[in-house]
Amino acid sequence: MLALFAVSCSTDDVEDRPVVAGVDAPVLTAPEEGNAYTLLPDNMDVLAERFIWTPANFGEGIIVSYDIEIDAAGDEFDTPAVIGSTTGATQFAASAGVINNALLATGAAPFVTANFEVRVKAYVGSNVLYSEPVEMIVTPYTTETPRLWMVGGFQAASGYGANFDYATAPQLKAVEYGDTNFEGYVYIAEDITSADNGFKFSTVANENGVNYGMGSTAGTIAEGGANITATAGYYLVKVNTDSGILSYSLTPANWGVVGFATTGSDAGWNNSTDMTYNPTTKVWEITMQLSAGEFKFRANNAWDINYGDTGADGVLESGGDNIVATAGMYKITLDLSNPREYTYTLTAQ
């Protein structure tokens, strides 16, 4: 009797459950097709758009969940990002920061205006309905420290991948978000004799960013300018993208070690011991005997550009503290390949 009662209750429960079936898809009523947005970090907490849609119908009494999805126009939502989600509610207020985070998750390039599509995904369990997409024109941002990519016909010969390959191009870096002063060290193996195999500076790691080439006068840059030419060498590259400055410089930098530890006397501070650049590892290196004492790295056998290690943590600072060494034979490396994050090693031999 207990078994029969249990079966009877279970059958009634199944019969009383509402039937879930997609009947009417939601319709996105806001935003309007083609609305344009420029998202800014100063307004990241400000309302940018209120997404509104009609309820989806999965049957009477069914509570529906919703995701607002966004993806690049033409990608057919292959890898969409979710702006926000609701349960039951048919609107979602999204700040500039929320929309921006979703765009960056799709791989959108910061500060590049592009077309995107947004839609509403309505679902109950595995039952899903989608609204028709609506196009949005959006310029996203990033608060990461800005970089420039130095792209050109010198890359293959210099160890930076294929010529004009953005992904492998050497980079320059600013000090912080909002700064327009960029620097980095770049090796050019062969003379760049014409604009055809010259280089430019790109704001993103693809052809969709702002590209700076030669300006109207020496040492200046301009948006869309011709490729820049240069002679072979290892350079400290500096660029200022401030619209009122727009300048660049290439300073030859041939590195050496200098200090008491290099000779065992104060005379060691007078002349640098040259290091050799390794284009495969992209580091300067030397194997030499050090005496107990201090040393630094400097370029061009002069003090205009020099690095020490304040804090003795293996990270170099411009004009930083002298590096302390114990006596012995060492392989010394100087790694300037990561812009503004310069390091060195001392390995006993």
Q: What Rg do the C-alpha atoms of the chain give, in angstroms?
A: 30
Helix, strand and coil in the chain, % to nearest 5: 15, 45, 45
Q: Residue 109's pLDDT band (boundaries 50, 70, 90)?
A: confident
pLDDT(62) > 70: yes
Q: What is the mean pLDDT of the chain?
A: 93
d(CA 308, CA 294): 10
For residue 3, the model assigns a pLDDT of 41
| CATH class of the region 20-139 | mainly beta
**Range 125-146 average pLDDT:** 95
d(CA 246, CA 215): 8
For residue 206, the model assigns a pLDDT of 87
User: Coil, helix or strand for 43?
Assistant: helix
Residue 144: Cβ-neighbour burial (10 angstroms; 0-12, 13-18, 19+):
exposed
**Range 223-237 average pLDDT:** 97
Where along the chain do its domains lie?
20-139, 147-252, 255-348
Q: Residue 15's pLDDT band (boundaries 50, 70, 90)?
A: low
pLDDT(5) > 60: no
Q: Which residue has the higher pLDDT, 120 or 7?
A: 120
User: Coil, helix or strand for 166?
Assistant: helix
Beta bridge partners of 284: 277, 334
pTM of the model: 0.72
DSSP 54: P
Architecture of domain 147-252: Sandwich (2.60)
pLDDT(41) > 60: yes
In percent, the amount of the chain with pLDDT more than 90 equals: 87
Q: Structure tokens of 347?
A: 């390995």
For residue 26, the model assigns a pLDDT of 98
Range list of H helices, the chain: 2-16, 96-105, 155-158, 260-263
CB-based contacts of 282, cutoff 8 Å, min separation 6: 159, 187, 335, 337
Architecture of domain 255-348: Sandwich (2.60)
For residue 302, the model assigns a pLDDT of 98
Segment 247-276, tens digit of pLDDT: 999 999 999 999 999 999 999 999 999 999
For residue 209, the model assigns a pLDDT of 81
Segment 290-314, tens digit of pLDDT: 999 999 999 999 999 999 999 999 9
CA–CA distances in Å: residue 179 to residues 173, 176, 251: 10, 6, 21
For residue 6, the model assigns a pLDDT of 42
For residue 122, the model assigns a pLDDT of 98
Do 20-139 and 255-348 come out as alike in CATH topology?
Answer: yes
Dihedral angle sign, alpha carbons of residues 257, 263, 264, 267: negative
How many residues in total does the chain contain? Answer: 349
**Range 142-163 average pLDDT:** 96
